[in-house]
Amino acid sequence: MTGIKAVIFDLDGTLVDSMYVWNKVDRDFLSQRSIDVTDEYTETVKGMFFETAAKYTIEKYGLKESVEQIVQIWLNMARYEYENNVRLKPYAYEYLKMLKAKGIKIGMATSSNPYLLEPVLKSNGIDGFFDCVCYTSQVGKNKSFPDIYLYTAKKLNAEPEECIVFEDIFDGVSGAKKAGMYTVAVYDEASEKDIELLKKIADKYIYSFSEMAGDVYGT
């Protein structure tokens, strides 16, 4: 593998340990209203957009707040976690620093929200590493499609075959593969059930960024 000009990272579950946040938000939000959170509720809202989940929550529990109010409450609760408690995965900082030193372009392709992303990058001291940050909302498709990766590569002035993508979930790896990019799947507890599938589809699987130490490709 030669000619790599850019590395594209997912955020949640890949660079940072943040997958606990939304379960905590669900639990704290409902407990403040004397409601017990159930596995059924958590699974139901997991794949919903904020507004849809808020509407569902209002109807299910007879809440008085508006959809807009609940969405903002959730975002504020999550932002506190991202700003104060969410931390980088081990050796992620060192790998980013090495890429920067080698003159490799660094991009981010995320489904996250700018309101959450900006404070977590700053609090972990990595906001200056990224040449661009791109959101799935900008392309109108989720990560199972190649669009977000192609869009990010274009922003980095790199061809697909000149890019490495780091992702922690199947949809992300699949979308990046469809874009024609080299993929590295990163272990995260939230996607542990998909390890074998990720190992099969990704070009490389790592349990820690320490496996990438000293070289762009981790070889």
CATH number at residue 41: 1.10.150
pLDDT tens per residue across span 85-119: 999 999 999 999 999 999 999 999 998 889 999 99
Of 84, 100, 129, the position where a domain reaches its end is 84
Q: What integer pLDDT is reported at residue 2 of this predicted model?
A: 66
Q: How many domains does the chain have?
A: 2
Do 97 and 203 lie in one domain? The reply is: yes
Q: In DSSP terms, which residues pair with 107 in a beta bridge?
A: 8, 132
How far apart CA 32 and CA 29 sit, in angstroms, is: 5
- Cβ atoms of 109 and 10 within 8 Å: the answer is yes
Do 92 and 105 lie in one domain? The reply is: yes
Q: Which domain holds residue 170?
A: 6-17+87-212
Q: Is 34 left (phi over 0), alpha (psi -120 to 50) or beta?
A: left
Per-residue DSSP letter, 144? T
Give the percent of the chain with pLDDT over 70. 97
Do 105 and 197 lie in one domain? The reply is: yes
Our measurement of the distance from residue 212's CA atom to the centroid of its chain's CA atoms, rounded to an integer in Å, reads 19
Question: Is 1 part of any domain?
Answer: no
